Amino acid sequence: MNFYIGIDFGTSGARLAILDQKGDIHQEVESRFQGTSSPNQWPIIWQTALFDLIVQIPVELRRQTSAIAIDGTSGTTLLCDQQGKPITSPLLYNDGRGVEMIEKIKAIAPANHLVLSATSSLAKLLWWQHHHNELNIPSQPIYFLHQADWLGFLLHGKLGISDYHNTLKLGYDITHLCYPSWLTNAINHESNPLKLQLPKVITPGTPISPITSEIAEQLDLPKQCVVCAGTTDSIAAFLASGATSPGEAVTSLGSTVVLKLLSHTPVNDARYGVYSHRLGNLWLTGGASNTGGAVLRAFFSDRELKTLSQQINPNINSPLDYYPLLKKGDRFPINDLELPPRLEPRPDNSVEFLHGLLESIARIEATGYQRLQELGATPLTHVYTAGGGAKNTVWTTIRERYLKVPMVQPRHTAATYGVARLAMQSLEKSQV
Ligand code: ADP
Protein backbone atom coordinates (compact mmCIF):
# COMPACT_ATOMS: atom_id res chain seq x y z
CA MET A 1 0.00 0.00 0.00
CA ASN A 2 1.22 3.53 -0.78
CA PHE A 3 0.49 6.36 1.62
CA TYR A 4 0.72 10.11 1.09
CA ILE A 5 1.29 12.73 3.78
CA GLY A 6 -0.03 16.30 3.59
CA ILE A 7 1.11 18.82 6.20
CA ASP A 8 -0.50 22.24 6.70
CA PHE A 9 1.25 24.99 8.61
CA GLY A 10 -1.39 27.47 9.82
CA THR A 11 -1.16 30.48 12.06
CA SER A 12 -1.61 28.77 15.42
CA GLY A 13 -0.50 25.22 14.74
CA ALA A 14 0.23 22.55 12.17
CA ARG A 15 -1.84 19.58 11.05
CA LEU A 16 -1.14 16.40 9.11
CA ALA A 17 -3.27 13.94 7.16
CA ILE A 18 -2.13 10.62 5.73
CA LEU A 19 -4.10 9.19 2.78
CA ASP A 20 -4.02 5.91 0.94
CA GLN A 21 -3.93 5.76 -2.86
CA LYS A 22 -7.75 5.82 -3.03
CA GLY A 23 -7.72 9.15 -1.19
CA ASP A 24 -9.11 7.79 2.08
CA ILE A 25 -7.76 9.46 5.22
CA HIS A 26 -6.12 6.98 7.63
CA GLN A 27 -4.99 9.36 10.33
CA GLU A 28 -5.12 13.08 11.12
CA VAL A 29 -2.93 14.69 13.77
CA GLU A 30 -2.39 18.18 15.07
CA SER A 31 0.40 20.01 16.86
CA ARG A 32 -0.26 23.43 18.41
CA PHE A 33 2.61 25.92 18.34
CA GLN A 34 3.82 26.64 21.85
CA GLY A 35 3.64 30.42 22.41
CA THR A 36 6.82 32.33 21.85
CA SER A 37 7.85 35.79 22.99
CA SER A 38 10.91 35.64 20.81
CA PRO A 39 10.38 35.71 17.03
CA ASN A 40 13.72 33.99 16.36
CA GLN A 41 12.22 30.89 17.99
CA TRP A 42 9.72 30.39 15.15
CA PRO A 43 11.91 28.13 12.97
CA ILE A 44 12.61 25.76 15.85
CA ILE A 45 8.91 25.76 16.80
CA TRP A 46 7.98 24.87 13.21
CA GLN A 47 10.68 22.20 12.98
CA THR A 48 9.55 20.66 16.28
CA ALA A 49 5.92 20.65 15.09
CA LEU A 50 6.92 19.06 11.75
CA PHE A 51 8.78 16.17 13.35
CA ASP A 52 6.20 15.82 16.13
CA LEU A 53 3.40 15.44 13.56
CA ILE A 54 5.24 12.77 11.57
CA VAL A 55 6.12 10.66 14.59
CA GLN A 56 2.49 10.71 15.72
CA ILE A 57 1.58 8.60 12.67
CA PRO A 58 1.46 4.87 13.47
CA VAL A 59 4.75 3.28 12.40
CA GLU A 60 3.09 0.76 10.04
CA LEU A 61 1.63 3.64 7.97
CA ARG A 62 4.76 5.76 8.18
CA ARG A 63 6.87 2.94 6.73
CA GLN A 64 4.66 2.77 3.62
CA THR A 65 4.73 6.50 2.85
CA SER A 66 5.52 7.32 -0.79
CA ALA A 67 5.38 11.11 -0.76
CA ILE A 68 5.06 14.17 1.46
CA ALA A 69 4.01 17.74 0.59
CA ILE A 70 3.76 20.77 2.85
CA ASP A 71 1.77 24.00 2.62
CA GLY A 72 2.59 27.14 4.59
CA THR A 73 0.98 30.48 5.32
CA SER A 74 1.36 32.64 2.24
CA GLY A 75 3.96 35.38 2.75
CA THR A 76 5.79 33.88 5.75
CA THR A 77 9.45 34.14 4.77
CA LEU A 78 12.94 33.57 6.14
CA LEU A 79 16.62 34.00 5.30
CA CYS A 80 19.04 31.08 5.64
CA ASP A 81 22.75 30.48 5.31
CA GLN A 82 24.19 27.90 2.91
CA GLN A 83 23.52 25.12 5.40
CA GLY A 84 19.85 26.11 5.59
CA LYS A 85 20.21 27.59 9.07
CA PRO A 86 17.95 30.64 9.60
CA ILE A 87 20.05 33.75 10.13
CA THR A 88 17.31 36.18 11.15
CA SER A 89 13.86 35.91 12.73
CA PRO A 90 11.31 34.98 10.04
CA LEU A 91 8.88 37.66 8.90
CA LEU A 92 5.40 36.23 9.34
CA TYR A 93 2.59 36.46 6.79
CA ASN A 94 0.95 39.49 8.45
CA ASP A 95 4.15 41.39 9.33
CA GLY A 96 3.64 44.83 7.86
CA ARG A 97 7.04 46.42 8.49
CA GLY A 98 7.71 46.19 4.75
CA VAL A 99 5.44 49.23 4.44
CA GLU A 100 8.59 51.36 4.43
CA MET A 101 9.68 49.67 1.18
CA ILE A 102 6.51 50.53 -0.78
CA GLU A 103 8.05 53.56 -2.50
CA LYS A 104 11.01 51.45 -3.58
CA ILE A 105 8.69 48.73 -4.93
CA LYS A 106 6.72 51.39 -6.83
CA ALA A 107 9.96 52.46 -8.45
CA ILE A 108 10.89 48.97 -9.68
CA ALA A 109 7.66 46.98 -10.19
CA PRO A 110 4.99 47.46 -12.88
CA ALA A 111 2.06 49.68 -11.82
CA ASN A 112 -0.60 47.98 -9.66
CA HIS A 113 1.48 44.81 -9.26
CA LEU A 114 0.39 42.68 -6.33
CA VAL A 115 3.85 42.91 -4.73
CA LEU A 116 2.82 46.48 -3.85
CA SER A 117 1.69 45.51 -0.39
CA ALA A 118 3.37 45.90 2.99
CA THR A 119 3.05 42.17 3.63
CA SER A 120 4.20 40.87 0.21
CA SER A 121 7.23 38.55 0.17
CA LEU A 122 9.06 41.15 -1.91
CA ALA A 123 8.43 43.90 0.67
CA LYS A 124 9.92 41.56 3.29
CA LEU A 125 12.95 40.72 1.16
CA LEU A 126 13.66 44.41 0.48
CA TRP A 127 13.16 45.23 4.17
CA TRP A 128 15.89 42.71 5.06
CA GLN A 129 18.14 44.13 2.38
CA HIS A 130 17.60 47.64 3.72
CA HIS A 131 18.22 46.70 7.37
CA HIS A 132 21.00 44.13 6.88
CA ASN A 133 23.53 46.16 8.89
CA GLU A 134 21.58 46.48 12.11
CA LEU A 135 20.44 42.85 11.77
CA ASN A 136 24.03 41.66 11.29
CA ILE A 137 23.14 39.77 8.12
CA PRO A 138 26.44 38.54 6.66
CA SER A 139 27.45 39.35 3.08
CA GLN A 140 27.97 35.69 2.11
CA PRO A 141 25.35 34.13 -0.24
CA ILE A 142 22.00 33.91 1.53
CA TYR A 143 18.88 31.99 0.61
CA PHE A 144 15.48 33.66 0.66
CA LEU A 145 12.78 31.06 1.35
CA HIS A 146 9.14 30.73 2.27
CA GLN A 147 7.98 28.74 5.28
CA ALA A 148 6.90 25.73 3.17
CA ASP A 149 10.19 25.76 1.19
CA TRP A 150 12.27 25.66 4.35
CA LEU A 151 10.19 22.93 6.00
CA GLY A 152 10.48 20.81 2.84
CA PHE A 153 14.26 21.41 2.87
CA LEU A 154 14.44 19.99 6.41
CA LEU A 155 13.18 16.71 4.93
CA HIS A 156 14.90 16.56 1.51
CA GLY A 157 18.00 18.66 2.16
CA LYS A 158 17.99 20.55 -1.18
CA LEU A 159 18.25 24.23 -0.46
CA GLY A 160 16.70 27.02 -2.52
CA ILE A 161 13.60 25.46 -4.10
CA SER A 162 10.11 26.94 -4.07
CA ASP A 163 6.86 26.68 -6.02
CA TYR A 164 4.91 29.21 -8.07
CA HIS A 165 2.14 29.56 -5.50
CA ASN A 166 4.43 30.64 -2.67
CA THR A 167 6.48 32.92 -4.95
CA LEU A 168 3.55 34.82 -6.52
CA LYS A 169 3.82 37.60 -3.94
CA LEU A 170 7.58 37.71 -4.43
CA GLY A 171 6.92 38.88 -7.99
CA TYR A 172 7.56 35.62 -9.87
CA ASP A 173 5.97 35.78 -13.33
CA ILE A 174 3.50 32.89 -13.39
CA THR A 175 2.53 33.47 -17.02
CA HIS A 176 6.05 33.13 -18.42
CA LEU A 177 7.34 30.99 -15.53
CA CYS A 178 10.41 33.07 -14.77
CA TYR A 179 11.57 35.87 -12.50
CA PRO A 180 10.96 39.15 -14.33
CA SER A 181 14.06 41.20 -15.09
CA TRP A 182 12.80 44.19 -13.05
CA LEU A 183 13.00 41.90 -10.01
CA THR A 184 16.32 40.16 -10.67
CA ASN A 185 17.97 43.45 -11.70
CA ALA A 186 16.87 45.09 -8.46
CA ILE A 187 18.00 42.18 -6.30
CA ASN A 188 21.30 41.44 -8.02
CA HIS A 189 22.26 45.09 -8.48
CA GLU A 190 25.95 45.48 -7.74
CA SER A 191 25.26 48.20 -5.19
CA ASN A 192 23.40 45.65 -3.05
CA PRO A 193 25.57 44.48 -0.19
CA LEU A 194 23.50 41.33 0.28
CA LYS A 195 24.10 38.36 -2.01
CA LEU A 196 20.55 37.08 -2.07
CA GLN A 197 19.74 33.79 -3.72
CA LEU A 198 16.16 33.63 -4.99
CA PRO A 199 14.65 30.14 -4.89
CA LYS A 200 14.40 28.07 -8.05
CA VAL A 201 10.67 27.89 -8.78
CA ILE A 202 8.90 24.69 -9.84
CA THR A 203 5.30 23.55 -10.28
CA PRO A 204 3.55 22.94 -6.94
CA GLY A 205 3.56 19.23 -6.16
CA THR A 206 6.58 18.38 -8.35
CA PRO A 207 8.66 15.60 -6.74
CA ILE A 208 11.91 17.28 -5.56
CA SER A 209 13.94 14.52 -4.00
CA PRO A 210 13.71 11.55 -1.63
CA ILE A 211 14.14 12.40 2.05
CA THR A 212 17.68 12.41 3.44
CA SER A 213 18.93 9.18 4.98
CA GLU A 214 19.17 10.91 8.39
CA ILE A 215 15.50 11.91 8.22
CA ALA A 216 14.53 8.40 7.06
CA GLU A 217 16.24 6.95 10.10
CA GLN A 218 15.15 9.59 12.59
CA LEU A 219 11.46 9.56 11.58
CA ASP A 220 11.16 5.91 10.54
CA LEU A 221 10.14 6.77 6.98
CA PRO A 222 11.18 4.73 3.90
CA LYS A 223 14.35 6.00 2.21
CA GLN A 224 12.55 6.31 -1.15
CA CYS A 225 9.81 8.58 0.30
CA VAL A 226 9.76 11.65 -1.93
CA VAL A 227 9.23 15.25 -0.85
CA CYS A 228 7.18 17.30 -3.32
CA ALA A 229 7.09 21.05 -3.88
CA GLY A 230 4.47 22.65 -1.65
CA THR A 231 1.82 25.32 -1.97
CA THR A 232 0.07 27.93 0.22
CA ASP A 233 -2.53 27.14 2.88
CA SER A 234 -5.49 28.67 1.05
CA ILE A 235 -4.71 26.90 -2.24
CA ALA A 236 -4.35 23.61 -0.36
CA ALA A 237 -7.84 24.20 1.10
CA PHE A 238 -9.19 24.86 -2.42
CA LEU A 239 -7.59 21.64 -3.69
CA ALA A 240 -9.29 19.73 -0.86
CA SER A 241 -12.75 20.73 -2.07
CA GLY A 242 -12.68 18.62 -5.21
CA ALA A 243 -13.39 21.61 -7.50
CA THR A 244 -11.47 20.98 -10.72
CA SER A 245 -13.42 22.51 -13.64
CA PRO A 246 -13.46 26.11 -14.83
CA GLY A 247 -16.55 27.81 -13.36
CA GLU A 248 -16.33 25.88 -10.10
CA ALA A 249 -15.75 28.01 -7.02
CA VAL A 250 -15.12 27.68 -3.33
CA THR A 251 -16.50 30.25 -0.90
CA SER A 252 -14.87 30.24 2.51
CA LEU A 253 -17.34 31.52 5.09
CA GLY A 254 -14.99 32.09 8.03
CA SER A 255 -14.39 35.31 9.95
CA THR A 256 -14.31 36.95 6.52
CA VAL A 257 -15.67 35.84 3.14
CA VAL A 258 -13.10 34.60 0.63
CA LEU A 259 -14.08 33.67 -2.94
CA LYS A 260 -12.02 31.50 -5.29
CA LEU A 261 -13.22 30.81 -8.82
CA LEU A 262 -11.42 28.46 -11.21
CA SER A 263 -11.12 30.12 -14.60
CA HIS A 264 -9.74 29.64 -18.12
CA THR A 265 -8.33 33.16 -17.94
CA PRO A 266 -6.46 35.00 -15.19
CA VAL A 267 -7.96 38.21 -13.80
CA ASN A 268 -6.09 40.85 -11.87
CA ASP A 269 -7.31 44.15 -10.50
CA ALA A 270 -5.33 45.76 -7.71
CA ARG A 271 -8.20 48.13 -6.87
CA TYR A 272 -10.28 45.20 -5.62
CA GLY A 273 -7.34 43.14 -4.35
CA VAL A 274 -8.20 40.61 -7.07
CA TYR A 275 -5.41 38.40 -8.38
CA SER A 276 -4.96 34.93 -9.87
CA HIS A 277 -2.82 31.95 -9.05
CA ARG A 278 -1.80 29.48 -11.71
CA LEU A 279 -3.30 26.02 -11.31
CA GLY A 280 -1.94 23.78 -14.05
CA ASN A 281 -3.46 25.12 -17.26
CA LEU A 282 -6.15 27.03 -15.37
CA TRP A 283 -6.22 30.08 -13.12
CA LEU A 284 -7.49 30.38 -9.60
CA THR A 285 -9.02 33.84 -9.39
CA GLY A 286 -10.17 35.30 -6.13
CA GLY A 287 -11.10 38.13 -3.86
CA ALA A 288 -11.78 38.63 -0.15
CA SER A 289 -14.39 40.78 1.62
CA ASN A 290 -14.27 42.01 5.23
CA THR A 291 -17.88 40.95 5.74
CA GLY A 292 -18.47 37.48 7.22
CA GLY A 293 -18.71 35.37 10.35
CA ALA A 294 -16.84 37.82 12.57
CA VAL A 295 -19.82 40.19 12.26
CA LEU A 296 -22.26 37.36 13.02
CA ARG A 297 -20.16 36.50 16.08
CA ALA A 298 -20.40 40.10 17.30
CA PHE A 299 -24.18 39.59 17.71
CA PHE A 300 -24.71 35.85 18.20
CA SER A 301 -23.01 32.83 19.76
CA ASP A 302 -22.46 29.83 17.46
CA ARG A 303 -25.27 28.08 19.35
CA GLU A 304 -27.67 30.99 18.71
CA LEU A 305 -26.64 31.03 15.05
CA LYS A 306 -27.66 27.40 14.82
CA THR A 307 -31.01 27.62 16.64
CA LEU A 308 -32.11 30.99 15.21
CA SER A 309 -31.17 29.95 11.65
CA GLN A 310 -33.52 26.97 11.93
CA GLN A 311 -36.41 29.41 12.41
CA ILE A 312 -35.66 31.32 9.19
CA ASN A 313 -37.62 30.53 6.03
CA PRO A 314 -34.79 30.65 3.48
CA ASN A 315 -37.16 30.84 0.51
CA ILE A 316 -38.53 34.23 1.54
CA ASN A 317 -36.66 37.50 0.86
CA SER A 318 -35.60 39.56 3.85
CA PRO A 319 -36.43 43.26 3.33
CA LEU A 320 -33.26 44.23 5.27
CA ASP A 321 -30.39 45.50 3.14
CA TYR A 322 -27.21 45.55 5.23
CA TYR A 323 -23.47 45.74 4.53
CA PRO A 324 -22.26 43.84 7.61
CA LEU A 325 -18.79 45.01 8.71
CA LEU A 326 -17.04 45.26 12.09
CA LYS A 327 -15.43 48.55 11.11
CA LYS A 328 -15.55 50.84 8.10
CA GLY A 329 -13.97 49.86 4.82
CA ASP A 330 -14.01 47.06 2.31
CA ARG A 331 -11.97 46.27 -0.78
CA PHE A 332 -13.96 43.58 -2.56
CA PRO A 333 -16.51 43.50 -4.12
CA ILE A 334 -16.78 47.22 -3.25
CA ASN A 335 -13.49 49.08 -3.16
CA ASP A 336 -14.14 51.83 -0.60
CA LEU A 337 -11.92 52.12 2.46
CA GLU A 338 -14.49 54.54 3.93
CA LEU A 339 -17.50 52.25 3.39
CA PRO A 340 -19.43 52.39 6.69
CA PRO A 341 -20.92 49.25 8.27
CA ARG A 342 -24.66 49.21 7.41
CA LEU A 343 -26.62 47.35 10.11
CA GLU A 344 -29.76 49.46 10.43
CA PRO A 345 -32.70 49.24 10.85
CA ARG A 346 -32.34 46.53 13.46
CA PRO A 347 -35.60 44.67 14.14
CA ASP A 348 -36.43 43.60 17.73
CA ASN A 349 -36.89 40.04 16.51
CA SER A 350 -33.49 38.22 16.48
CA VAL A 351 -34.60 35.76 13.79
CA GLU A 352 -35.48 38.61 11.42
CA PHE A 353 -32.19 40.36 12.21
CA LEU A 354 -30.14 37.22 11.51
CA HIS A 355 -32.15 36.60 8.33
CA GLY A 356 -31.20 40.10 7.17
CA LEU A 357 -27.52 39.52 8.01
CA LEU A 358 -27.27 36.14 6.27
CA GLU A 359 -29.09 37.41 3.21
CA SER A 360 -26.96 40.56 3.00
CA ILE A 361 -23.72 38.53 3.20
CA ALA A 362 -25.12 36.25 0.46
CA ARG A 363 -25.80 39.34 -1.68
CA ILE A 364 -22.21 40.51 -1.19
CA GLU A 365 -20.94 37.03 -2.11
CA ALA A 366 -23.02 37.05 -5.31
CA THR A 367 -21.76 40.55 -6.18
CA GLY A 368 -18.22 39.24 -5.61
CA TYR A 369 -18.64 36.44 -8.14
CA GLN A 370 -20.23 38.92 -10.55
CA ARG A 371 -17.21 41.19 -10.13
CA LEU A 372 -14.78 38.36 -10.94
CA GLN A 373 -16.81 37.53 -14.06
CA GLU A 374 -16.97 41.20 -15.13
CA LEU A 375 -13.19 41.24 -14.88
CA GLY A 376 -13.09 38.28 -17.28
CA ALA A 377 -13.22 35.12 -15.17
CA THR A 378 -15.08 32.04 -16.47
CA PRO A 379 -18.82 32.16 -15.56
CA LEU A 380 -19.75 30.53 -12.28
CA THR A 381 -21.24 27.02 -12.52
CA HIS A 382 -21.04 25.49 -9.03
CA VAL A 383 -20.19 26.72 -5.53
CA TYR A 384 -18.56 24.61 -2.82
CA THR A 385 -18.47 26.03 0.71
CA ALA A 386 -15.82 25.84 3.43
CA GLY A 387 -15.40 27.54 6.83
CA GLY A 388 -17.62 27.87 9.90
CA GLY A 389 -20.66 29.07 7.88
CA ALA A 390 -20.62 25.94 5.67
CA LYS A 391 -22.60 23.94 8.21
CA ASN A 392 -25.55 26.36 8.06
CA THR A 393 -27.91 24.70 5.55
CA VAL A 394 -30.48 27.51 5.83
CA TRP A 395 -27.80 29.94 4.74
CA THR A 396 -26.84 27.60 1.88
CA THR A 397 -30.43 27.74 0.58
CA ILE A 398 -30.47 31.55 0.86
CA ARG A 399 -27.14 31.76 -0.97
CA GLU A 400 -28.34 29.46 -3.74
CA ARG A 401 -31.17 31.94 -4.39
CA TYR A 402 -28.64 34.71 -4.97
CA LEU A 403 -25.88 32.73 -6.68
CA LYS A 404 -28.33 30.94 -9.03
CA VAL A 405 -26.03 27.91 -9.41
CA PRO A 406 -26.03 24.53 -7.62
CA MET A 407 -24.32 24.39 -4.24
CA VAL A 408 -22.01 21.40 -3.90
CA GLN A 409 -20.77 19.63 -0.78
CA PRO A 410 -16.94 19.78 -0.79
CA ARG A 411 -15.13 16.45 -0.76
CA HIS A 412 -13.05 17.79 2.13
CA THR A 413 -12.25 21.21 3.53
CA ALA A 414 -8.94 20.62 5.33
CA ALA A 415 -5.80 22.00 3.69
CA THR A 416 -3.94 18.85 4.84
CA TYR A 417 -6.15 16.77 2.56
CA GLY A 418 -5.58 19.11 -0.40
CA VAL A 419 -1.81 19.14 -0.05
CA ALA A 420 -1.69 15.33 0.43
CA ARG A 421 -3.69 14.96 -2.83
CA LEU A 422 -1.22 17.28 -4.52
CA ALA A 423 1.64 14.97 -3.52
CA MET A 424 -0.30 11.89 -4.59
CA GLN A 425 -1.34 13.20 -8.03
CA SER A 426 2.09 14.55 -8.85
CA LEU A 427 3.78 11.31 -7.93
CA GLU A 428 1.29 9.31 -10.00
CA LYS A 429 1.91 11.63 -12.98
CA SER A 430 5.68 11.39 -12.62
CA GLN A 431 5.47 7.60 -12.67
CA VAL A 432 3.43 7.39 -15.90
P1 ADP B 1 -11.79 31.55 10.72
O2 ADP B 1 -10.89 30.35 10.50
O3 ADP B 1 -11.80 32.53 9.60
O4 ADP B 1 -11.65 32.21 12.05
P5 ADP B 1 -13.96 29.57 10.75
O6 ADP B 1 -13.94 28.94 9.42
O7 ADP B 1 -13.49 28.79 11.95
O8 ADP B 1 -13.30 31.01 10.73
O9 ADP B 1 -15.49 30.01 11.03
C10 ADP B 1 -15.82 30.74 12.17
C11 ADP B 1 -16.99 31.65 11.84
O12 ADP B 1 -18.11 30.84 11.51
C13 ADP B 1 -17.39 32.50 13.03
O14 ADP B 1 -17.14 33.85 12.73
C15 ADP B 1 -18.88 32.22 13.24
O16 ADP B 1 -19.63 33.41 13.36
C17 ADP B 1 -19.29 31.47 11.97
N18 ADP B 1 -20.28 30.45 12.27
C19 ADP B 1 -20.23 29.46 13.19
N20 ADP B 1 -21.36 28.73 13.20
C21 ADP B 1 -22.17 29.27 12.25
C22 ADP B 1 -23.49 28.98 11.77
N23 ADP B 1 -24.19 27.97 12.24
N24 ADP B 1 -23.96 29.76 10.79
C25 ADP B 1 -23.25 30.77 10.28
N26 ADP B 1 -22.02 31.09 10.69
C27 ADP B 1 -21.48 30.35 11.66
List the CATH number of the domain containing 382. Answer: 3.30.420.40
Task: Tell me how far the alpha carbon of residue 388 lies from the centroid of ligand 1, in angstroms.
Answer: 3
Residues 114 and 260 occupy one common structural domain: no
Note the Cα 224 to chain centre separation in Å.
29
Residues 206 and 355 occupy one common structural domain: no
| Closest residue CA from atom 9 of ligand 1 | 388
Which atom number of ligand 1 is nearest to the Cα of residue 306? 23
Query: What is the ipTM for the molecules in this complex?
Result: 0.98
Task: Tell me how far the alpha carbon of residue 324 lies from the centroid of ligand 1, in angstroms.
Answer: 14
Task: Tell me how far the alpha carbon of residue 253 lies from the centroid of ligand 1, in angstroms.
Answer: 7
Residues 186 and 331 occupy one common structural domain: no
The sheet carrying 77-80 orders its strands as 77-80, 142-146, 196-197
Q: What share of the chain is helix, strand, coil (3-state, %, to 5)?
A: 35, 25, 40
User: How far apart are alpha carbons 383 and 403 in whole angstroms?
Assistant: 8
Residues 379 and 427 occupy one common structural domain: no
Residues 64 and 113 occupy one common structural domain: yes
Which atom number of ligand 1 is nearest to the Cα of residue 296? 16
Amino acid in the structure at residue 174? I
Residues 28 and 55 occupy one common structural domain: yes
In a domain, 387, yes or no: yes
User: How far apart are alpha carbons 223 and 62 in whole angstroms?
Assistant: 11
Task: Tell me how far the alpha carbon of residue 289 lies from the centroid of ligand 1, in angstroms.
Answer: 15
User: How far apart are alpha carbons 46 and 34 in whole angstroms?
Assistant: 10
In a domain, 355, yes or no: yes
Residue 88 structural domain: 3-233+416-431
Which atom number of ligand 1 is nearest to the Cα of residue 252? 6
Residues 400 and 420 occupy one common structural domain: no
Residues 157 and 57 occupy one common structural domain: yes
Residues 305 and 424 occupy one common structural domain: no
* Strand bridging mode 196-197 / 142-146: parallel
Cis? peptide before 345, omega within 30° of 0? yes
Residues 30 and 144 occupy one common structural domain: yes
Spell out which residues line ligand 1, taking CB within 6 angstroms: 254-255, 293-294, 296-297, 302, 305-306, 309, 387-389, 391-392, 395
pLDDT value at residue 432: 59
Q: How buried is 33 (Cβ within 10 angstroms: 0-12 exposed, 13-18 middle, 19+ buried)?
A: middle
User: How far apart are alpha carbons 284 and 297 in whole angstroms?
Assistant: 29
SS3 label, residue 77: strand
| Closest residue CA from atom 27 of ligand 1 | 389
Specify the number of domains making up the chain: 2
- Mutate which of 291, 300, 384, 392 for ligand 1 pocket (most atoms within 8 A of beta carbon): 392
What is the separation, in whole angstroms, between the first and last Cα of the chain? 18
- Mutate which of 12, 299, 305 for ligand 1 pocket (most atoms within 8 A of beta carbon): 305
In a domain, 404, yes or no: yes
In a domain, 238, yes or no: no
Task: Tell me how far the alpha carbon of residue 295 lies from the centroid of ligand 1, in angstroms.
Answer: 10
In a domain, 258, yes or no: yes
User: How far apart are alpha carbons 418 and 191 in whole angstroms?
Assistant: 43
Residues 197 and 249 occupy one common structural domain: no
- Mutate which of 73, 93, 251, 302 for ligand 1 pocket (most atoms within 8 A of beta carbon): 302
Which atom number of ligand 1 is nearest to the Cα of residue 300? 16
In tens digits, the chain (432 residues) has pLDDT values of 899 999 999 888 999 999 999 999 999 999 999 777 789 999 999 999 999 999 999 999 999 999 999 999 999 999 999 999 999 999 999 999 999 999 999 999 999 899 999 999 999 999 999 999 999 998 788 999 999 999 999 999 999 999 999 999 999 999 999 999 999 999 988 778 788 999 999 999 999 999 999 999 999 999 999 999 999 999 999 999 999 999 999 999 999 999 999 999 999 998 999 999 999 999 999 999 999 999 999 999 999 999 999 999 999 999 999 999 999 999 999 999 999 999 999 999 999 999 999 999 999 999 999 999 999 999 999 999 999 999 999 999 999 999 999 999 999 999 999 999 999 998 778 765
Residues 359 and 423 occupy one common structural domain: no
| Closest residue CA from atom 15 of ligand 1 | 293
Alpha-helical segments (H) within 102-212 = 102-108, 121-130, 147-156, 181-188
pLDDT value at residue 192: 81
